């Protein structure tokens, strides 16, 4: 790794970490094409996120490598959300798991390949490790990735709009079967800490109730909304709920705990929980059956839409421009529709290595224009009647 910031960049590497989403290949394509065509850089891609950096598993990235990947979901470099090289699980001779800082191995791999800068594409956990590599002297540029659209300091993240399309189309499909059977249909979508997906997807998909993390709900108010709708002639109802939504006096619905993962808690099941509650509160009065569907990983996959192809291109191209200008230890952002950057530490927090900050997540404003517009057209958030 070159220490002198003024020395000319000749070779860069990139990796994708965390969970997949649409638009990743658009970003990869833009990074590679900009690096080669604009700056004549050589590009290496590490396979499987930080694990590839640790295991020295990589492929040369050429114009041919990224040809034909623009529209594809996922990432041609693959990824992992379980490998924190600053807190890496290693089984000792007694069969016990111990955690070690193995980042020095990754750094040696970068030096071996004469990598001058590393472009890291990922969410909160991935960018936290990017921050720690920057502290170790690595020239890092970060690109934010999450379909939840909750990364602070940037207006929108790629993959979000494609996920919204999936949610809208799913709600459209549920709408027809809900109408046909006079049923209450619940769609559970992603959104651990922020309700952007449920909110915008729910509005676009004609939901009658939207439940999001930012507005704790009262299940009795939800029930009364549905009963009132039924009494006014609406014999079916659509509910769109974020996986991170919670009742006013309750807790998050945890599906399972995954030991060894940087983020152990897996949310899920709130749709089924609400369905069971409404069977007791609503079904005896209206006779409606309740069905719940968890959209799950469908939100992350599929063909990338127009918006995310263009957005991913903007993120990837600007990241390479940052490399050329020596803007290291920073993350690409979009503010007021203009490309910019912020310190990675300002995004994930400045605590000790491995610490992750969720306090600054970009969340829905419960009193903002979008929520107010939804309320104006009769959508309930389960908090007022």
Angle in degrees, CA 374, 309, 46, rounded to 5: 120
The span from the CA of 356 to the CA of 358, in Å, is: 7
| Residue 257: partners with Cβ closer than 8 Å, 6 or more residues away | 264, 265, 266
Q: What are φ and ψ of residue 286, in 5° steps? A: -100, -20
| Residue 367: partners with Cβ closer than 8 Å, 6 or more residues away | none
Per-residue HEC secondary structure of the chain comes to: CCCCCCCCCCEEEEEECCCCCCCHHHHHHHHHHHHHHHCCCEEEEECCCHHHHHHCCEEEECCCCCCCCCCCCCCCCCCCCCCCCCCEEEECCCCCEEEECCHHHHHHHHHHCCCCEEEEEECHHHHHHHHHHHHCCCCEEEEECCCCCCCCCCCCCCCHHHHHHHHHHHHHHHHHHHHHHCCEEEEEECCCCCCHHHHHHHHHCCCCEEECCCCCECHHHHHHHHHHHHHCCCCCEEEEEECCCCECCCCCCEEEECCCCCCCEEECCHHHHHHHHHHHHCHHHHCCCEEEEECHHHHHCCCCCHHHHHHHHHHHHHHHHHHHHCCCCEEEEEECCEEEEEEHHHHHCCCCCCCCCCCCCCCCCCCCHHHHHHHHCCCECCCCC
Exactly one of 20, 83, 132, 148 is catalytic; name it.
148
Give, in order, the Cα–Cα distances in Å from 250 to each of 224, 245, 247, 308, 362.
19, 10, 5, 36, 23
pLDDT given at position 152: 86
Residue 263 is among the residues annotated as catalytic for this protein = no
What pTM, to 2 d.p., does this model score?
Answer: 0.89
269: which 2 tokens? 């099941």
pLDDT given at position 90: 87
| Residue 36: partners with Cβ closer than 8 Å, 6 or more residues away | 43, 62, 63
Mean pLDDT by 10 residues, the chain (385 residues): 60 93 95 98 96 96 95 88 85 85 95 97 92 96 94 92 96 95 96 94 97 96 96 96 92 68 70 95 94 92 93 97 97 94 88 40 92 97 88
Delineate the domains of the chain, giving CATH numbers in brackets: 11-158+304-348 (3.40.50.450), 164-300+365-376 (3.40.50.460)
pLDDT given at position 5: 45
């Amino acid at each position: 790794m070159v220490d002198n910031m003024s020395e000319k960049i000749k070779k860069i590497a990139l990796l994708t970490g965390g969970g997949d989403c649409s638009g990743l290949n658009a970003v990869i394509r833009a990074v590679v094409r900009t690096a080669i065509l604009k700056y004549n850089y050589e590009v290496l891609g590490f396979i499987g996120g930080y694990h590839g950096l640790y295991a020295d598993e990589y492929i040369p990235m050429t114009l041919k490598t990224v040809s034909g990947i623009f529209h594809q979901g996922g990432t041609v470099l693959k990824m992992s959300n379980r490998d924190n090289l600053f807190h890496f699980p290693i089984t000792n001779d007694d069969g016990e798991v111990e955690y070690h800082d193995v980042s020095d191995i990754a750094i040696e791999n970068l030096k071996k390949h004469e990598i001058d800068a590393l472009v890291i594409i990922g969410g909160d956990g991935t960018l936290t490790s990017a921050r720690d590599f920057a502290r170790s002297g690595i020239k890092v540029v970060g690109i934010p990735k999450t379909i939840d659209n909750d990364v602070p300091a940037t207006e929108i993240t790629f993959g979000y709009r494609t996920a919204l399309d999936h949610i809208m189309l799913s709600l459209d499909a549920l709408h027809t079967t809900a109408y046909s059977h006079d049923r209450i249909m619940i769609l559970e979508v992603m959104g651990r800490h922020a309700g952007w997906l449920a909110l915008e997807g729910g509005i676009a998909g004609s939901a009658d109730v939207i439940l999001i993390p930012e507005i704790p709900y009262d299940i009795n108010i939800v029930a009364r909304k549905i009963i009132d709708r039924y009494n006014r002639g609406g014999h079916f109802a659509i509910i769109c709920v974020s996986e991170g939504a919670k009742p006013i006096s309750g807790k998050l619905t945890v599906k399972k705990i995954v030991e060894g993962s940087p983020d152990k808690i897996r949310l899920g099941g709130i749709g089924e929980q609400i369905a069971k509650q409404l069977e007791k509160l609503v079904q005896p009065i209206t006779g409606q059956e309740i069905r719940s569907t968890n959209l799950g990983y469908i939100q992350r996959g599929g063909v990338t839409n127009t918006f995310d192809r263009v957005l991913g291109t903007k993120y990837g191209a600007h990241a390479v421009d940052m490399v050329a200008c020596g803007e290291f230890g920073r993350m690409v952002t979009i503010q007021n529709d203009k490309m910019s950057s912020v310190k990675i530490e300002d995004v994930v927090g400045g605590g000790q290595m491995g610490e992750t900050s969720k306090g600054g997540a970009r969340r829905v404003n419960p009193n903002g224009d979008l929520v107010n517009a939804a309320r104006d057209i009769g959508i309930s958030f389960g908090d007022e009647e």
